[in-house]
Structure 1
């Protein structure tokens, strides 16, 4: 990793999801860098260390690497360093890992840790170990405490993943500090939505992106430099036969004057209206979609009314 001679404040972790707990660690890292007119560096891993250390199967990313890096830069991180995690990296002591990441003699001045952090071979690099190492090498160690939800539960990527897999989007948004979003280019579909009176934009997502529970969601969508309300479908369109899981967005307030094919769209999932279902006929599906649309419009009216009363 090539760095300037500017002082470095760094944090280390997977940071999948970038929930509010992660954000508190990142904010502390950025603040430490700004105190020293230095660079905020975040070191992360691919694949997830559990794949190598525990032999766990790879899991979909809550925030795939490209999405994560974009969000991190928006939070003020200057450099994102992705370490290819393998048996060699796993075997490094903490000193060797820091030298591998930064280069020997790099001006590391602050190392920011999340709660229960440990690094290096056999996880020997806990806070006490790193403080002793910092005393020898000239860097300070700062630890950021756990953040908790209102119900007392700890913020964690595992808890967030469970919420998403259950379709609990409001709870997930509380943990994230933002709605959960899916993004991708708009690709071509079978055209069934248009035939049914509900044209959809078919999203081509990162192949390792975690999808929430199948169903119909109220969504806020950004495309062509503007935003709009919508219904987002996550499922396999079982009414028309088995197929791969897909994400389709019906834009409630968009007139199809401009071609969307190939454009980027970000759909933020606000609430799950219902689970995915297989209908006996296309007509029954249209009736359900009419009800979905009415419920979505009620959702937006209620939301606007709540905002207006503040």
Structure 2
């Protein structure tokens, strides 16, 4: 295992990979997203590049509550809207308590990746502490089978994960010291802005309650819940927000332009209310 404060030798190792999956692993505020940006800027003109974002609460690819993937063009710049190729609605802002659906989402997205993609960068959540989190990360790594894991580790907090997976290549780095620790409020504000952008062009449509299944079967309070709107194959076409409830229908805000395609839906675990 090599430990490096800066990924200078990492870049040449990635270029030598030529084709494969690269997974970024680390706790919260270790610089995974910053590293992702650096790798994208380095590689976007050299290889056919794709990104999967598994960070349900702080996603850069697709709206919160989803796992999505995008193809990165040569002129791509972070801060611009990514054209999401496919997404899977997990329905929560963290994999905690929603492990099976999170893993199902990763499996679904992996099958959707364009075979022309040479390098696939996979960003993950900072969910690493506790038995459930460690087991989840092990299962995710075994599912993805990455060709290279880049682990951002402060001390030995990732060892319980790394020692229990088959590793092809591993590169261990210190977390970026200049990465600012995000407060709960800052993370919530980021999600709020993501949802605002996503629903900014939305329209309101009535959908029958009978087409929806609930991730929480005990749920009875539906106002402001985030939902997925699906076609007859069960493909997520768009998200929606329940804004009113009638006897047999939900009134839902969604950017979807062709609501007639919707024959199924999933009511997620989280709500979104506009922050003051």
* TM score, norm. by length of structure 2: 0.34
The structure with the largest helix share of the pair is 1
* TM score, norm. by length of structure 1: 0.32
Q: Using CA pairs below 8 Å that are at least 6 residues apart, which structure has the higher relative contact order?
A: 2
